[in-house]
Structure 1
Amino acid sequence: MSKSPQNRIEVDVRTAYVEGQSNPAEDHYVFAYTITIRNTGESAARLISRHWLITDADGGVQEVFGEGVVGQQPFLRPGEDFSYTSGTTLPTPVGTMQGSYQMQTESGEQFDAIIAPFSLALPHILH
């Protein structure tokens, strides 16, 4: 896996609690997240697959692997970005997500774009 200046991907995350699809009485909390993936490197790259670790407040972990994102494998030239919205459910009102996107350059070189941990939480529950 390469971490050269040619291969730089920035990941920006925005989250939201989806009250209308949640049912706290049954420990069912729905969260949406919007992600923008930006190629800040010098080489074009395609997002091949994703890997997520989703942790609830009780320490339960869901591990998710899959091809692409929202049914797509976006190809990003330097300076381009791609945004999408997806969601997850938790049995607790607070949790975290983190992971990586597996990227591939036109020459076939593969590298990981790391997604730093981010919080999923009901509004005003965290200080």
Structure 2
Amino acid sequence: MAGRPPPPVYEADTRGVKIRVQPRFLHDESRPASGQYVWQYTVEIENGSEQTWTLTTRHWEIVDSQGRRQIVDGEGVVGQQPRLEPGESFRYSSGAPLAAPSGMMGGNYTMVSETGEEIAARIPTFSLDSPYEQSRPS
């Protein structure tokens, strides 16, 4: 819609692995009268370190404004386990449906270096805001 500011970008940095997330409410896919609210979120993972990292697993925690909590664990992201050399980045989009008009998501990606070192790269907690209700991470 015209005049609406762009959605905020949330960012976290874990040992040079920068993760940026930009959520966006999907009006056309949401059905507020039926308690269905849908967001798209775009994630960019940038390797600002001097090591090569491979994203092996994901861990998401999703809490809606009614206090319902979901944990989502799995291998990779969008069917891939991206390998990022220094200076490289990977970008993908996914979706999040909720039964409430707002919520928050956050978590981490397990990243493994070529030497076998493992880190939990933090995904910044970000708000899923709809025009029907808004929340902000603290």
TM-score (norm 2): 0.84
Give 2:56's aligned residue.
48
Letter of the 1:89 partner, please give it.
P
Per the TM alignment, residue 31 of structure 1 is displaced from its structure 2 partner at its CA by: 0.4
Moved over 6 A (4+): none
1:78-89 map, 5 Å: 78-89=86-97
1:59-80 CA-partner distances (Å, limit 9, x unpaired): 1101000100000000001111
Identity %: 44
1:104 aligns with 2:112: yes
Letter of the 1:72 partner, please give it.
Q
1:64-112 CA-partner distances (Å, limit 9, x unpaired): 0010000000000111100000001111111000000000001111111
Letter of the 1:81 partner, please give it.
S
- Look up the SS of the partner of 1:112 in the other structure: strand
1:118 aligns with 2:126: yes
Is the CA contact (8 Å cut-off) linking 2:53 and 2:84 kept in structure 1?
yes
What is the RMSD of the two structures over their aligned residues, measured on CA atoms? 1.6
Per the TM alignment, residue 126 of structure 1 is displaced from its structure 2 partner at its CA by: 3.6
CA distance in 1, matches of 2:83, 2:130: 34
Letter of the 1:59 partner, please give it.
G
- Look up the SS of the partner of 2:33 in the other structure: helix
Give 2:30's aligned residue.
22
Q: Work out which of the residue numbers 69, 72, 75 in structure 1 matches 2:80.
A: 72
TM-score (norm 1): 0.91
Give 2:45's aligned residue.
37
5+ residue gaps, structure 1, are 1-6
